[in-house]
Amino acid sequence: MTYTPMSKQKLAFLPTPVAELEQLTARLGGPKLYIKRDDQTGLALGGNKTRKLEFILADALKKGADTIITAGAGQSNHCRQTAAAAAKLQMECHLVLGGEAPPAITGNLLLDNLFGAHVHWAGENRKGEDIPELVKQLKSQGKQPYVVPYGGSNELGALAYLEAFKELQLQQQQQQISFTHIVFASSSGGTHAGLALGAKIFNSQCQIIGINNDKGEGDAVPLQDKILTLANQTATMINAQVKLDSADIQLNNHYIGQGYGVISQQDKAAISLLATAEGILLDPVYTARAMSALLDMIRTNQFSSNDNILFWHTGGAPALFAYADKLGC
């Protein structure tokens, strides 16, 4: 099926590798596990947001923006990659971060500073609630600001992961693999919407399973509904003649635990297991939660021994350094 292409600004090193997790598979006794390394997208130590920013910042440049604004948690991977992309494109960057300024600058926040971003602390508002006022201030200074949505999760961000699914289709052909499941961290919804749309457009039988790690307190719309709406809005934007329904969006809510950014013993165990088995680092907020869920699903026989499961690594390892005390390191 064809769809209308959109312009993008090259920022990422693509395609990212697909590798078999032989040692992890052996330790678990199957099924066969693979990993898609979007932690190696290249910009600012990598991550899934770089793919999204290629489309979003192309739109910003097209509209004449000279200043980028986005929001996230204090250790936001999205904000770190946005700051790096803005630096590469020589645009001013403002980050509205939840929480208060910490006594020590480390992890993603250290990188935000190295990339020259202007950081605004917003207390409990980590999802951009304070951005409208900042936009007014910057416009009054003669700047042309462009707001990148939370997590880069709009139609352009979702389109990036439709393109990523297309990339994966070619890799499966080249490596003669057929994945039965794709498991990944689902939070702001853009990655999930794009992968689900890709599966629909390319008529894939692979199950797309997002692992929710956020209770969504204060959110007016449940995450699954957001993902479905975004997937269909993206399909409309690119003139793809498909429509997704709720059955196309698999969001596993059983592993939220204490919520966003609260690392559990299971998360720590997942980080340790992948590090010692494969030499691959997970981040403490997203991919550790998704991997710990995948491990539990395997151990509780939610997959068959014949399945080929792809873990889509969305990045975030720089945050490990900010969580050293919680990881017991």
- Active-site residue list: 76
- Please give the Cα distance from 111 to 129 (Å, whole number): 23
Q: Which residues pair with 32 in a beta bridge?
A: 308
- Please give the Cα distance from 34 to 53 (Å, whole number): 26
Question: Which residues are CB-neighbours of 269 under 8 A, at least 6 positions away?
Answer: 292, 295
Question: Which residues are CB-neighbours of 215 under 8 A, at least 6 positions away?
Answer: 256, 259, 260
Give φ, ψ of 88 to 5 degrees. -60, -35
Tokens of 277: 């088995």
Q: Which residues pair with 39 in a beta bridge?
A: none
User: What are the CA-CA distances from residue 112 to residues 77, 151, 197, 288 (Å)?
Assistant: 10, 16, 32, 22
The number of beta carbons lying within 10 Å of the beta carbon of residue 88 is: 16
